[in-house]
Each structure stands twice: as C-alpha cells, then as structure tokens.
C-alpha cells in the first residue's frame, strides 16, 4: 500500500472544514517543530541529556533549545457539535506525527520508504493523542454545577510543564472520564479517572538499567502483560483556582493509582499501588512574567512520574521545581528553571538505590529588533545514584549543555512563535555520566565526554 503524503491526507479534512471554520464550528490549532542538524564528529545531530534524569526512563532531550532531534507535528481539531442556550457539546481530536532525524529519506516522499532504506517503526510514528468529548451546562443552574464540565475519552488532562525542558511534571493524561470546574466558592474541584493499559511496556522499563527502555508507543513482542493483562486505574482529584492575594493562584492534587491484573496470568508482581500529592503556587506580575513553584511527593507506581505497577509501594520520592519567566523590557526576556528530585527505593529489598537529581538552567534572550533576537541557554544537571553497583555508584554524574541561537520571530517576545532558529550547541559530561548509557541521542558521541552540534529549526504553535 502506498503511503499518502501528509498534504494528500490532510486535503479532504481541509475541504470539509473550510465552510465550518467560517461559521466558528471548527477550530484547527496545533504545535510543530522541524529542523536539520549535524554533529561535530560527523553524522546526524544527536541531543544531549543525562541518563536517569527528567521524565526517566524516557530521557531526553534535556535542555531543549538547539537540542531536539526530531520532526514533530500535532494537528488538533475542536468541533462545536451542539449549542443551545447555556448548553453545548464539544469534540476534540489531536493527531501527532513524529520522525527522528536518523530516519531521513531524500526522496520526494520525504521521511518515507521509497528506496527501502527505512521502515515505519519507532523512528516514524503516528499517535492519536486526543479524542474526547465534553458536555457543558447539563447539570442544572445551581452555582455549584452550572459551569461544570462532563467529559470522556482520551485527552491531555490539565497538564503542567517546564517549557525549557519539555518536561510535563504534572501530567495524568490518557483514556478516562471526569467532572471538572465544580465551583465550591473558594476555587474549583475536578475529578478524573484515567486508565493506563500496560500492554506496550515490559519489565525492563526502568531507566535502561537492565535493558532497553521501552517507552509507550513502541509495541514490543516481549511485553509482560500482553493482551490487557495489567491495567492501572488512576483516580485524580484536584482543587484549583485558589487565590489568596493579588496575582496568586494555588492548586492542590491527589492521585491514587490502582492496578488491575487479569487472574491466572502470573503477573501478580504487578499489583503495587501508587499515591501522589501535588502542590503548585503561581504568582503573576513579576517583572513582566510569572513564577511557578511546584512540590510533589509520591510512592509505588508513581515512582518514575508515570504508571509502573511493578514498582514496590515502599519506594518513595519527592520533587521540587521552580520555574521563573520575566520580560522586564522589550529588549530582554529570560526563563529560569531549578529542579531537585529525590528517589528512595525500598530499603528492605536487596540492590535498592537512592537517587538525587539537581538541575539548573537559564535562557536569556536579547531582542535587537521586533523580529530578530539572540537566545543563549545554559543547563547544568547533576545526578547521583547510590547502590546501583555501577562504576559510578555513589559518584555525581554531571553534564553542562550550552546553546547559542539566532532567532527570527513575529514579535519581540520570549514566547513569540513561530520562530526560526540557527543554532550551535555544545555539551560536556564527566566519566560517571555514561553509567546508564551514552549522554547523547543516537549514540553520536559514544566514547566521548564532549560534543558539538549545529543546525536550524522552526518551532510553532497556533
């Protein structure tokens, strides 16, 4: 079967949605990044990251400016399916397309398989990221419920992220249903049930320590729970929009992960519960920007910031993040992020590990005109593991990544998109940093302790 190009595939949708867009029935939005890059020792651009950090075990890309090695597109469609008075139904769909740089094809069908040099797989992926519906104004006119929303399907559920790291630190997304925006006078309450099917994750998914890290989206043949043997039901309760003083916003959350194992499958080891608590404080109007402070504490299946029912409930962790953005003048803006994460495995188990990750990064940007700017990003990561038995046991693994990028954007704003970038990135790491794998994507700088990449990228959201 011939693979249709993205343009051919999107054309029927455009023809259908054209008249609807004019009537504000359909809204199309999304996100995209694409680029080209090389490495100083030849070959494709590889991203730099310190294995074991961030949303491990997925790793990467670390501090993201000039450090991404994929072409990625999200196309989102919002449909106003029904509206009468204060009642309405809305539908939301989001398809995502990803291709990594090492799967390039110089043929007219760029990224395809015309010359049989590549096949669709982990490096060329399509995802259904969202497909969900919401009903508003269906629960009466009480002040408690009149603005509430019922929803069901697959969605990005109230995600919180650090843009510089592309790190979604509060992210309980997936298939589920819920009730949100319940007005309790002081803030709003939200409840969601999210179910994670563990079909595509195997027992080695623990940061690559005992094998390859099989990230969701890559279906393996050796999955420990194939054909729906293990699911994790996550109950998510949030209390948001709490404001105590001008410009302040507080959010509280509790997550309870409850695994379900099919009887007779021999997977009883994957029945560990998980609990996680969230606190976030955001302060607006700080030198033309804002600051977010976030604290989380969890155990069991939340250990890697995901759903891992194979992780003993006695394993516990906590993390603090501070994320500051300022733009005090038209000529200067800056983002700053600091992370401290502590993970302690069950001390009664042999081979238990204690892990500490510290990260500090900044991206100052100078605007020379309304459209031209220079961004410099510096990120430092330290990661210490005690008890893993590796050559780096008890030692600090470190990486420093630096990027300089000439940028072209519509406005003199740190957040202005689309943006075109010409960049050069340099990173160096110590000998202990390689204990859990090469600190560079595609293994480009395997055997080295430093590397440089350069290239061009476009990034956009609309």
Q: What is the DSSP string of 356-381?
A: EEEEEEEEEEEESSSSEEEEEEEEEE
pLDDT tens profile 113-146 = 444 444 445 556 788 999 999 999 999 999 999 9
Query: Does the pLDDT at position 56 exceed 50?
Result: no
- Cβ-proximal residues to 438 (8 Å cutoff; 6+ apart), any chain: 51, 445, 446
Domain of 90, in residue numbers: 25-461
pLDDT tens profile 293-334 = 999 999 998 887 777 787 889 999 999 999 999 999 999 999
State residue 337's pLDDT score. Answer: 97
Q: Classify residue 14: in a domain, yes or no.
A: no
Q: What is the band of 381 on the pLDDT scale with cuts at 50, 70, 90? A: very high
Residue 201 per-residue DSSP state: -
Q: Classify residue 426: in a domain, yes or no.
A: yes
Q: What is residue 195's three-state secondary structure?
A: strand
State residue 48's pLDDT score. Answer: 93
State residue 424's pLDDT score. Answer: 98
Q: Which of 407, 402, 403 is nearest to 374 (CA)?
A: 407
State residue 211's pLDDT score. Answer: 35
Residue labelled with tokens 């054309």: 11
State residue 109's pLDDT score. Answer: 45
Q: Classify residue 7: in a domain, yes or no.
A: no
User: Which pTM does this prediction carry?
Assistant: 0.87
- Cβ-proximal residues to 150 (8 Å cutoff; 6+ apart), any chain: 134, 135, 136, 138, 139, 177, 178, 179
Q: What is the band of 154 on the pLDDT scale with cuts at 50, 70, 90? A: very high
Tokens of 196: 């994670």
pLDDT tens profile 196-235 = 875 444 433 333 333 333 333 333 433 444 456 788 899 9
Q: How many domains in the chain?
A: 1
- Cβ-proximal residues to 180 (8 Å cutoff; 6+ apart), any chain: 148, 149, 151, 158, 188, 190, 191, 192
Q: Classify residue 4: in a domain, yes or no.
A: no
Q: Which of 255, 100, 271, 104 is nearest to 171 (CA)?
A: 255
For 391: left if phi > 0, alpha if psi spans -120 to 50, otherwise beta; the answer is alpha
pLDDT tens profile 406-428 = 999 999 999 999 999 999 999 99
Q: Give the C-alpha separation, 94 to 451, whole Å.
A: 36
State residue 265's pLDDT score. Answer: 72
Query: Does the pLDDT at position 84 exceed 50?
Result: yes
> From the CB of residue 182, how many other CB atoms can be counted at a distance below 10 Å?
17
Q: Classify residue 164: in a domain, yes or no.
A: yes
Q: Classify residue 17: in a domain, yes or no.
A: no
What are 167's strand-pairing partners?
162
Share of the chain above pLDDT 70, in %: 81
Mean pLDDT of the chain, nearest integer: 85
State residue 15's pLDDT score. Answer: 54
Q: Give the C-alpha separation, 58 to 205, whole Å.
A: 9
CATH number at residue 190: 2.40.170.10
State residue 61's pLDDT score. Answer: 67
Q: Give the C-alpha separation, 121 to 364, whole Å.
A: 37
Question: Is there a cis peptide before residue 57, judged by omega within 30 degrees of 0?
Answer: yes
Q: Classify residue 228: in a domain, yes or no.
A: yes
Q: What is the band of 401 on the pLDDT scale with cuts at 50, 70, 90? A: very high
- Contact 78/91 with Cβ under 8 angstroms? yes
Q: Classify residue 448: in a domain, yes or no.
A: yes
| pLDDT average, residue stretch 6-33 | 69
CA distances from 221 to 25, 135, 200, 202, 224 (A): 43, 39, 9, 9, 9
CA dihedral angle for residue 445, residue 375, residue 98, residue 69, rounded to 10 degrees: -10
Q: What is the band of 237 on the pLDDT scale with cuts at 50, 70, 90? A: very high
CA distances from 2 to 8, 113, 114 (A): 12, 10, 9
State residue 261's pLDDT score. Answer: 84
Residue 354's Cβ-count burial label (10 Å; 0-12, 13-18, 19+) is middle
Q: What is the band of 10 on the pLDDT scale with cuts at 50, 70, 90? A: low
- Backbone φ and ψ for 103, nearest 5 degrees, come out as -115, 30
């Amino acid at each position: 079967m011939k693979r249709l190009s993205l343009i051919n595939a999107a054309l029927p949708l455009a023809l259908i949605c054209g008249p609807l867009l004019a009537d504000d029935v359909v809204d199309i939005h999304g996100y995209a990044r694409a680029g080209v890059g090389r490495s100083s020792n030849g070959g494709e651009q590889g991203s730099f990251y310190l294995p074991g950090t961030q949303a491990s075990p997925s790793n990467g890309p670390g501090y993201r400016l000039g450090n991404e090695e994929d072409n990625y597109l999200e196309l989102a469609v919002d449909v106003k399916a029904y509206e009468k008075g204060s009642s309405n139904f809305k539908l939301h769909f989001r398809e995502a397309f990803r291709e990594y740089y090492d799967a390039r094809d110089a043929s007219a069908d760029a990224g395809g398989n015309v010359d049989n040099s590549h096949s669709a797989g982990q490096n060329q992926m399509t995802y259904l990221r969202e497909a969900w519906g919401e009903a508003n104004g269906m629960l009466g006119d009480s002040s408690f419920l009149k603005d509430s929303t019922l929803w069901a399907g697959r969605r990005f559920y109230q995600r919180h992220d650090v843009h510089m790291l592309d790190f979604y630190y509060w992210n309980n997304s997936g298939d589920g249903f819920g009730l949100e925006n319940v007005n309790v006078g002081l803030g709003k309450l939200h409840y969601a049930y999210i179910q994670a099917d563990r079909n595509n994750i195997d027992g080695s998914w623990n940061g690559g320590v005992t094998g390859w890290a099989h990230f969701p989206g890559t279906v393996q043949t050796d999955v420990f729970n194939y054909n729906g043997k293990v699911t994790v039901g996550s109950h998510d309760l949030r209390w948001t929009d709490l404001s105590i003083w001008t410009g302040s916003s507080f959010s509280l959350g509790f997550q309870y992960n409850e695994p379900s194992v099919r009887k007779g499958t021999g997977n009883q080891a994957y029945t560990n519960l998980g609990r996680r608590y969230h606190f976030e404080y955001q302060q607006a109007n700080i030198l033309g920007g804002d600051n977010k402070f976030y604290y989380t504490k969890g155990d069991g299946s939340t250990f890697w910031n995901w759903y891992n029912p194979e992780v003993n409930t006695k394993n516990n962790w906590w993390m603090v993040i501070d994320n500051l953005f300022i733009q005090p003048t038209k000529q200067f803006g800056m983002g700053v992020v600091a992370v401290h994460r502590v993970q302690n495995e069950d001390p009664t188990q042999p081979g238990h590990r204690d892990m500490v990750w510290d990260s500090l990064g900044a991206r100052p940007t100078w605007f020379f005109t309304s459209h031209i700017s220079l961004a410099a990003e510096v990120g430092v990561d330290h990661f210490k593991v005690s008890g893993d038995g590796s050559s780096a046991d008890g030692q600090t693994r470190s990486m420093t990544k630096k990027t300089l990028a000439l940028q072209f954007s519509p406005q003199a704003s740190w957040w202005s998109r689309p943006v075109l970038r010409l960049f050069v990135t340099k990173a160096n790491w110590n000998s202990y940093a390689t204990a859990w794998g090469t600190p560079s994507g595609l293994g480009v700088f395997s055997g080295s302790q430093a590397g440089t990449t350069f290239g061009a990228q476009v990034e956009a959201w609309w």
